[in-house]
């Protein structure tokens, strides 16, 4: 069954990211919520889990923006495919590789999966195309 309520909540999440609306982001979770930022191997918990995850991402890509390409909201799950764009200005570690700021503008696909309960995010698994990110930062030398 299509869940329009959950779809609207998650569409609002990406709009809030693009507008830096942390007040809205802090309304999306409850005390039991979890956000797993897969490529950065970071977990965030509780009411502020979504905003903490995005604060971490903004530290790396301060001008980041997200564009939703596909969104599927079925029962208690929402799956989003999209594109993140931003300038690499912060240090980050992915799979034990540390990337110093390059000042390069990157455009990377992402796929996020949300488990929802009563309009709140209970679990989120956030993933992005690490190969595309590394290729844009380091060039074609990435194996």
Residue 143 falls inside a structural domain: no
CA–CA separation, 55 vs 82, rounded Å?
19
Q: Range of 129's domain?
A: 4-138
Which residue from 75, 88, 76 is spatially nearest to 128, judged by alpha carbons? 88
Record the pTM: 0.91
Say whether pLDDT at 86 is over 90.
yes
What's the pLDDT score for residue 50? 95
Q: What is the CATH number of the domain that holds 51?
A: 3.10.450.50
Residue 120 falls inside a structural domain: yes
pLDDT in tens, 26-44: 999 999 999 999 988 889 9
Strand residues in 1-143 grouped as ranges (E): 29-37, 42-45, 65-74, 77-87, 92-94, 97-99, 105-117, 120-128
Banded pLDDT at 91 (limits 50, 70, 90): very high
State what percent of residues in the chain have pLDDT above 90: 83
What domain count does the chain have? Answer: 1
CA–CA separation, 129 vs 28, rounded Å?
25
Say whether pLDDT at 143 is over 60.
no
Residue 56 falls inside a structural domain: yes
CA–CA separation, 9 vs 28, rounded Å?
8
Say whether pLDDT at 5 is over 80.
yes
CA–CA separation, 99 vs 89, rounded Å?
10
pLDDT in tens, 94-134: 777 788 999 999 999 999 999 999 999 999 999 999 899 98
Which residue from 50, 134, 48, 142 is spatially nearest to 92, judged by alpha carbons? 134
Residue 125 falls inside a structural domain: yes
Residue 81 falls inside a structural domain: yes
Computed over every residue of the chain, the mean pLDDT equals 93
Say whether pLDDT at 1 is over 80.
no
Which residue from 24, 96, 84 is spatially nearest to 57, judged by alpha carbons? 84
Banded pLDDT at 141 (limits 50, 70, 90): low
Mean pLDDT of 44-57: 94
């Amino acid at each position: 069954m299509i869940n329009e309520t959950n779809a609207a909540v998650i569409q609002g999440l990406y709009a809030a990211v693009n507008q830096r609306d942390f007040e809205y982001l802090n309304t999306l979770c409850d005390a039991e919520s979890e956000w797993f930022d897969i490529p950065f191997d970071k977990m965030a918990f509780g009411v502020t889990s979504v905003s903490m995850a995005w604060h971490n991402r903004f530290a790396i890509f301060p001008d980041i923006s997200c564009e939703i390409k596909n969104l599927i909201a079925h029962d208690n799950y929402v799956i989003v495919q999209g594109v993140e764009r931003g300038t690499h200005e912060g240090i980050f570690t992915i799979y034990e590789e540390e990337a110093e700021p390059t000042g390069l503008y990157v455009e990377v696909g992402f796929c996020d999966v949300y488990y929802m309960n009563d309009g709140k995010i209970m679990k989120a698994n956030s993933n992005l195309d690490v190969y595309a990110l590394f290729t844009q930062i380091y060039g074609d030398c990435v194996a």
